[in-house]
């Protein structure tokens, strides 16, 4: 059971409301997600009185253009978040564990993109379209889910609300962006080398990336055979959907796509469901865009998911392996750097202002 007052954090009831024009910080500002966080704040007109950009010492001295001004990148330290109302963290689990709790204790609300706090029972794991009400329970730290869990939860949640889900089988096709800017650059360089007939030795990922795909690079549990990404997706989807016993099977694969993840989902429901009913539910769901043109063989693709915030859903069809009529198959795609990370975090911050 959650603690009423987690160590070093304030009870939710005692936290001060966020001002109308908060002071905001982006931690990990120069990374792939950090750059997208800044762009989302700017593009969505997020109201703020001050923006602080923070990163590791190797980024010290850099400037980044924000709203027509060049802002300096400062080194993150123990006092960096003093007076900051909302801090968007995307600097990895180590930095989050090192700085987030103390900053939250001093009054900063942390929206954390790492895995550091996702499964902490005292930290809400939030996708605003799905479980915004969980924000009311925060003690200063709010976790942004794993990118696959976010992209899957957006279409699964409205279906689950209409007809409880009994089982999910997922196969993911995950882009280089999920492994960061260095992996994206490796894919570019490896592809160029391959096309020129040259050998390219992998530096970031364990296997050759150009014109190849391989099991997700997270560590594999030698006993179960499941890798860490698959475990995250299962555990986080259960938490987001508030279904701790939901049966979920996941196979995560890294594919040679720069950004935007694709997921094949087969979903078994408590009661029979038709494709038309599922499509109607999804068409009315926030954050979902239907891309389902059978005649043109046009369904969700990472190319079309890239650079926009909706989760594309299509290839909707009856799972003919289930004669009970309770199962639907679908294909979904979402931009890993946007809805799968930065956009979801900024949407959380926006909800804190309302």
Same domain, 139 and 231: no
Look at residue 2 in the predicted model and tell me its pLDDT: 44
Average pLDDT over residues 169-194: 96
Does the annotation count 261 as an active-site position? Answer: yes
Same domain, 159 and 271: yes
Same domain, 72 and 156: no
Look at residue 296 in the predicted model and tell me its pLDDT: 98
Same domain, 171 and 307: yes
Contacts of 43 (CB under 8 A, 6+ apart): none
Element (DSSP H or E) covering residue 95: helix 93-105
pLDDT at 119 over 50: yes
- Residue 342 covered by a domain: no
Look at residue 14 in the predicted model and tell me its pLDDT: 52
Q: What is the pLDDT of residues 342-353, one digit of tens each?
A: 999 999 999 999
CA distance 82 to 146: 28
**Which residue, 144, 166, 189, sits at the end of a domain?**
144
Burial 223-259 (b: 16+ CB within 10 A, else e): eeebbebbbbbbbbbbbbbebeebebebbbebbbbbb
Look at residue 11 in the predicted model and tell me its pLDDT: 60
Average pLDDT over residues 185-191: 97
CATH classification at residue 306:
3.30.360.10
Parallel, antiparallel, or unpaired for β 141-143 and 109-112? parallel
- Residue 183 covered by a domain: no
Look at residue 200 in the predicted model and tell me its pLDDT: 96
First to last CA, the chain: 28
Q: What is the pLDDT of residues 122-162, one digit of tens each?
A: 999 999 999 999 999 999 999 999 999 999 999 999 999 99
Same domain, 163 and 292: yes
Mean pLDDT of the chain: 94
Catalytic residue among 40, 85, 147, 160: 147
| CB hemisphere CA count around 315 (13 angstroms) | 17
CA distance 86 to 109: 5
Q: In sequence order, what are the beta bridge partners of 286?
A: none
Confidence of residue 67 (pLDDT cuts 50, 70, 90): confident
Same domain, 123 and 265: no
pLDDT at 7 over 60: no
| Least-confidence region, from 7-11, 79-83, 102-106, 313-317 | 7-11
CA distance 64 to 324: 56
Look at residue 1 in the predicted model and tell me its pLDDT: 40
CA distance 323 to 248: 20
- Residue 301 covered by a domain: yes
Look at residue 15 in the predicted model and tell me its pLDDT: 65
Same domain, 92 and 165: no
Same domain, 62 and 164: no
Same domain, 163 and 133: no
pLDDT at 12 over 90: no
Q: What is the pLDDT of residues 237-272, one digit of tens each?
A: 999 999 999 999 999 999 999 999 999 999 999 999
Task: Give the whole-number percent of the chain exceeding pLDDT 70.
Answer: 95
Confidence of residue 26 (pLDDT cuts 50, 70, 90): very high
Tally of domains in the chain:
2
| Least-confidence region, from 10-19, 95-104, 182-191, 227-236 | 10-19
Does the annotation count 207 as an active-site position? Answer: no
Same domain, 308 and 230: yes
> Which residue range is the domain that position 39 belongs to?
12-144
Query: Three-state DSSP class for 38?
Result: helix
Describe the crossing of helices 343-352 and 32-43 by its angle, rounded to 10 degrees.
Answer: 50
Same domain, 271 and 332: yes
Catalytic residue among 85, 138, 139, 261: 261
- Residue 182 covered by a domain: no
| Least-confidence region, from 5-14, 53-62, 120-129, 219-228 | 5-14
Average pLDDT over residues 335-339: 97
**Higher per-residue pLDDT: 192 or 14:** 192
pLDDT at 64 over 80: yes
Look at residue 39 in the predicted model and tell me its pLDDT: 97
Describe the crossing of helices 228-240 and 147-162 by its angle, rounded to 10 degrees.
Answer: 40
Same domain, 78 and 120: yes
What's the predicted TM-score (pTM) here?
0.93
């Amino acid at each position: 059971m959650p603690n009423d007052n987690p160590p070093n954090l304030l009870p939710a009831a005692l936290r001060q409301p966020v001002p109308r024009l908060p002071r905001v910080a982006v931690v990990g500002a120069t990374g792939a997600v950090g750059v997208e966080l800044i762009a989302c704040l700017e593009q969505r007109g997020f109201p703020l009185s001050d923006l602080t950009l923070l990163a590791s010492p190797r980024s010290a001295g850099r400037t980044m253009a924000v709203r027509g001004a060049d802002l300096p990148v400062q080194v993150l330290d123990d006092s960096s978040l003093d007076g900051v109302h909302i801090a968007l963290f995307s600097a990895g689990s180590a930095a989050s564990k090192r700085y987030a709790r103390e900053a939250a204790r001093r009054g900063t609300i942390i929206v954390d993109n790492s895995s550091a706090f996702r499964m902490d029972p005292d930290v809400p794991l939030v996708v605003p379209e799905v479980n915004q009400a969980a924000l009311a329970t925060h003690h200063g730290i709010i976790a942004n889910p794993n990118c696959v869990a976010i992209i899957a939860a957006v279409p699964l949640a409205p279906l689950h609300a209409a007809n409880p889900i009994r089982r999910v089988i997922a196969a993911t096709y995950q882009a280089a962006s999920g492994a960061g800017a260095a992996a994206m650059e490796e894919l570019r360089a490896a592809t160029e080398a391959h096309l020129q007939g040259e050998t390219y030795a992998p530096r970031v990922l364990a296997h050759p990336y150009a014109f190849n795909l391989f099991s997700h690079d997270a560590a594999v549990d030698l006993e179960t055979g499941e890798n860490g990404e698959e475990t995250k997706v299962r555990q986080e989807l259960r938490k987001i959907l508030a279904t701790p016993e939901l049966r979920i099977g996941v196979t995560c694969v890294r594919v040679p796509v720069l950004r935007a993840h694709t997921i094949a989902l087969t979903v078994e429901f408590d009661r029979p469901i038709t494709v038309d009913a599922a499509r109607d539910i999804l068409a009315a769901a926030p954050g979902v865009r239907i891309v389902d043109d059978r005649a043109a063989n046009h369904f969700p693709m990472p190319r079309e998911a890239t650079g926009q915030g909706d989760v594309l859903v299509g290839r909707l069809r009856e799972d003919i392996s289930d004669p009970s009529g309770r199962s639907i198959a679908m294909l979904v795609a979402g931009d890993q750097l946007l809805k799968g990370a930065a956009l979801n975090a900024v949407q959380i911050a926006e909800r804190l202002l309302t």
